[in-house]
Amino acid sequence: MISIIVIIVSIIFDGILTNFLPYLVNDLSIFTPLFTVVSIFIIYPFFRKDIKKYYLTAFLIGIIYDLFYTNLLFFNAILFLIIAAISRFIYKHYEINWFSIIFYIILIISTYELITAGIVFIFQLVPITFDKIIYKISHSLLINIIYAELIFLILKIVPKKYKKISIN
């Protein structure tokens, strides 16, 4: 239940902040939200015992994200599955704490942006350069790291009776 709330809040915040913050290629703000991508990483512990449900949730979030924000059906659905697989690997092999989450969010955001840029480059959807990719990644990290830390802290504070399983 808490994982669904995190997802819904992330999708809503993505929409609100994307409308209020500049999001043009040459005018990216330092606050480019990718909260839904971050939420896929953060919610993994709630699905630790049911991996199929986690991947299905990530895929469905991707479809909803595609319908609301990109109009490219299955584009983000497939990307979110990749992010979910990376998240599972990280949670399975490494310990997650308030400090290490910074590195992992940088990895998740960079992976998402690099795969997106690769697909855009392959299909020649828009002209893209390596400088633009680095610029976009660097300008999306700050707010997404802050968001991940806040959600991680909130989920640590929530009483265990409201969680299906505990985080860590």
Q: Is residue 47 in some structural domain?
A: yes
Tokens of 163: 């969680």
Instruction: Report the domain count for the chain.
Output: 1
Q: Would you state the pLDDT for residue 166?
A: 47
* Count of residues in the chain: 168
Taking the C-alpha atoms of residue 151 and residue 22, their distance in angstroms, rounded to an integer, is 24
Position 82 scores a pLDDT of: 96
Q: What is the pTM of this model?
A: 0.86
The Cα 112–Cα 158 span in angstroms is 29
Q: What is the pLDDT along the chain (168 residues), one digit of tens a residue?
A: 788 999 999 999 988 887 776 555 455 566 778 999 999 999 999 898 899 999 999 999 999 999 988 878 899 999 999 999 999 999 999 999 889 999 999 999 999 999 999 998 898 878 888 888 888 888 889 889 999 999 999 988 876 655 555 454
Give the burial class of 150: count Cβ atoms within 10 A of its Cβ; 0-12 exposed, 13-18 middle, 19 or more buried.
Answer: exposed
Q: Is residue 85 part of a domain?
A: yes
Q: Residue 101 sits in which domain range?
A: 2-162
Report if residue 155 sits inside a domain.
yes
Give the H or E element holding residue 23: strand 23-24
**Inside any domain, residue 168:** no
- Chain centroid to Cα 24, Å, comes to 20
Assess if residue 43 is contained within a domain: yes
